[in-house]
Amino acid sequence: MSIFDHVESAVRSYCRNWPTVFNRGQGSWIYDEGGRGYLDFFAGAGALNYGHNNSALKQGLLDYVTSDGIAHALDMSTIAKRDLLDTFVHLILKPRRLDYRIQFPSPTGASSVESALRLARKATGRTAVLGFANSFHGVTLGALLVSDSRLSRMDSTTPVSGRTPLPYNTHFGDNPDLSVVERRFDVSAVGQERPAAVIVETVQGEGGVNVASVQWLQALSRLCSDFGVVLIVDDVQAGCGRTGSFFSFENAGIVPDIVCLSKSISGYGLPLALTLIRPDLDVWEPGEHSGTFRGNNHAFITATKAIETYWSDNILEKQTVSKGESVRRELASLAAAYPHLSLGVRGAGLINGLSFLDGKQARSVCFAAFERGLLVETAGRQGEVVKLMPPLTTTDDELDTGLELLKASIEESVHESEGL
């Protein structure tokens, strides 16, 4: 491990929580150089929805590479890009009656967010973009300015003046109160420019697995439409099937103006991002928003294979919903077993969280889980939520194993904190 300590920047983070050297991965498992296996309920922070080295995706990539397929092409037209666009339109957009232009920004989630922010400002002629409390949209400057996560609050290099996040809502039920949002939209009320856009996660991953209610999302969508404010949904982590449906906003029946995708859109952990744009908002000039690696053809190949393999029918969607319900039932049983910890359960599909009273206890559980061979991370304003995000392809037996390891880790953490 010494080379990492002596040479790599202090900015590294996940490796501090999981102090081993990883070597290979297969499905829901990742192995260190000593051969020890770890059940992966982290899934590359949501970049590995189909697991490590998925065989169908890997074979497609190997075939392409061995045939000398184009790897790098900026935004030039290639067969790999054509196949991805055609597959995405016919298997993802058309069945959902969605009409979007597809932009390939630089290949990260933050890149997609930056393109969405710039485009909303250009299309409306206005500058302000509003975000929500506990949100996270990336660590580039524009993304940080609309975020309210631990990372954005820690960043001393980013100006915070004038940043007032909107209240994020998960429990207003049938009559969601968006009065604060409406006041910010109403120019006559606030005496300032109407915002160009709002950006929202339907499920806040980094923020603590906070799930927005259907009613609240619908009300927010109506409000944006009424005031001519662009609605941007950041689906970087919660999209690509993580909540069950391909897009996390489908259950709410809303149609965002712009959608940001990355992480698992490549299907294989390869860098790729898409920005989906309502056609009349696609007012870019050629080359106005660009990047050298926006044409990652290897990622186009695996993305196409992932969509063909898992989204030609609704089998994966149904399995993800069912597995998620099982996970939350088990988490609720865990919470009931430790009433004095005031554990909270939240989630959708296979992004779920178990909240503790403080971050110290949650971090203790995550470390104990690592020692047992389970990878889970913390989330939330104070890191008080243990977040479970296994690959969507994780088997029922693997889910059971992971939850048993989590239970044992909680028991150990409780005994240590109580001096037993």
Residues 30-83: pLDDT tens digits?
999 999 999 999 999 999 999 999 999 999 999 999 999 999 999 999 999 999
DSSP string, 281-302: G--PPTTSS--TTS-BHHHHHH
User: For the chain, what percent of residues have pLDDT higher than 70?
Assistant: 94
- Edge-to-edge strand order for the sheet containing 29-32? 22-26, 29-32, 37-40, 374-375
The dihedral region occupied by 203, where left means phi > 0, alpha psi between -120 and 50, and beta the remainder, is: beta
Give Cβ neighbours of residue 258 (< 8 Å, ≥ 6 apart).
116, 119, 120, 197, 230, 231, 232, 233, 275, 276, 277, 278, 281
pLDDT for res 173: 55
pLDDT for res 192: 79
Lookup: tokens for 342: 């005031």
Q: State the CB neighbour count (10 A cutoff) for residue 183.
A: 10
Distances from the Cα of 295 to the Cα of 42, 114, 163, 299, angstroms:
27, 17, 34, 9
pLDDT for res 135: 95
Could you give the 3-state DSSP secondary structure of residue 346?
Answer: strand
Residue 99 CA to residue 420 CA, distance in Å, equals 59
Lookup: tokens for 73: 């092409």
pLDDT for res 152: 65
- Please report, in tens digits, the pLDDT of each residue of the chain (420 residues total): 789 988 989 988 999 999 999 999 999 999 999 999 999 999 999 999 999 999 999 999 999 999 999 999 999 999 999 999 999 999 999 999 999 999 999 999 999 999 999 999 999 999 999 999 999 999 999 999 999 977 666 666 666 555 678 999 855 556 778 888 998 998 766 667 899 999 999 999 999 999 999 999 999 999 999 999 999 999 999 999 999 999 999 999 999 999 999 999 999 999 999 999 999 999 999 999 999 999 899 999 999 999 999 999 999 999 999 999 999 999 999 999 999 999 999 999 999 999 999 999 999 999 999 999 999 999 999 999 999 999 999 999 999 999 999 999 999 998 887 765
Q: What residue ranges define each of the domains in the chain, with the CATH number in brackets?
A: 2-53+314-417 (3.90.1150.10), 57-310 (3.40.640.10)
The residue behind tokens 């959708």 is 348
pLDDT for res 238: 98
